[in-house]
Amino acid sequence: MSILSIYGCVDSDNLPCDDSTALSKVSEFPLGTAIKWDEFQLDTNYFHIAKTQFSSYTPENIFKSENLHPTRYNYNWEQADSLMSFCLNNSKRLHGHTLIWHKQLPQWIIDFQGNKSEWEEIFRLHIITIVQHFKGKIKSWDVVNEAFDEDGTLSNTLWKEKIGPGYIEKAFRYAEEADPECLLFYNDFNLESNPVKRTAVLNYLDHLRSRGVKVDGIGLQMHIDVITADATLYALAFRSVYEKNYQLHLSELDISLNPSGKNIVLNEELLLQQADIMGKIVNLYKQVPLPYQYGITFWGISDKNSWIRSNYNRMDYPLLYDDQYNPKPAYCKIKSIL
């Protein structure tokens, strides 16, 4: 079945839109996808699209501490190195995700018993070992992920509890020490839509910078949905980040069609709403000054592999490709805008 008969997908010249030319070829800034390791290895459709459409990869799970650092004295480099060499051989940028997060931790960290300085030692070694391992190859890291609550206060995470509220500053300092050339990002959700949280994060990072800490960029995750999407808010958010001299990464973009988890039937209206929002976001991003455009990363390729379905246990269609790897109207829309 052709894409036209499935979606009636057309580009701005009313020509049928397909994915035979790559998105990244028509884009002036990096376009990325999260990479799920098993699919990348085993699913030829997934691999083909990842390889042809996108110029930047973010490992979806294999660089998280439960996978990369499974026991105290052992690191599992195998998959990470293999993805790294694929990227080096195929001119893909690999964005490191993520050094310090309170989720997807290995059991040994959760169970670790120690005083503050012992905790700081495992924290420091974790960061230094990983950043040094990829030194010169990985040029950017999400150093700290999701450290703030919606009201703008620091979340009470394991790291804050064990190391103290200065853990964010320490994480950035250790990462810089391990690879001074690397771009260092803070990454979080709802920063695009919640000005209270975003302002708190910006003030906090500005404060770190005033203390001589290197912070290069901010990742707005952008796990958004068709009900609450608001391009006016996003325009403000993008501006507030680059005006303060932070590189802007739309780091985990997906657009849920079913945020409240109903029994929905996928229809043309929803697909077109999704395409419309995707188009507005890409349009806004094109207006971000070039030095601040770190790129847009989609949090996956096909709806069938999206984390939303498994994580929230609901049927959803948040990505650019459908379950059969056909490009959706959102794909065609952004292609016509890029």
Active site residues: 146, 252
60 or 179: whose CB is closer to ligand XIL? 60
| DSSP structural state of residue 187 | E
CB 295, CB 56: distance < 8 Å: yes
6 or 154: whose CB is closer to ligand XIL? 154
Instruction: Please report, as residue ranges, which positions from 113 to 172 form the binding site for ligand XIL (by CB under 6 A).
Output: 145
In whole angstroms, the minimum distance from the beta carbon of 281 to ligand XIL comes to 18
How far apart are alpha carbons 175 and 162 in whole angstroms?
19
In whole angstroms, the minimum distance from the beta carbon of 193 to ligand XIL comes to 15
In whole angstroms, the minimum distance from the beta carbon of 261 to ligand XIL comes to 17
99 or 182: whose CB is closer to ligand XIL? 99
Per-residue binding string, ligand XIL, 293-312, x by CB under 6 A, is: --------------x---x-
Q: How many CA atoms lie within 13 A of 50 on its CB side?
A: 31
Q: Quick one: which of 60, 66, 120, 303 contacts ligand XIL (CB under 6 A)?
A: 60
Backbone angles phi, psi at 90, to 5 degrees: -120, 20
Displacement of CA 158 from its chain's centroid (Å): 22
Residue among 102, 114, 96 nearest 178 (CA) = 96
Instruction: Please report, as residue ranges, which positions from 256 to 295 form the binding site for ligand XIL (by CB under 6 A).
Output: none
In whole angstroms, the minimum distance from the beta carbon of 262 to ligand XIL comes to 22
102 or 333: whose CB is closer to ligand XIL? 102
Q: Which residue is nearest to ligand XIL (CB)?
A: 307
A 10 A CB-CB count for 288 gives: 18
Contact between 29 and ligand XIL by CB under 6 A: the answer reads: no
CB 191, CB 237: distance < 8 Å: yes
Q: Quick one: which of 45, 52, 61, 67 contacts ligand XIL (CB under 6 A)?
A: 61
How far apart are alpha carbons 205 and 217 in whole angstroms?
10
Residue among 211, 124, 139, 205 nearest 170 (CA) = 124
Q: Catalog residues that contact ligand XIL under the rule CB under 6 A.
A: 60-61, 145, 221, 252, 307, 311
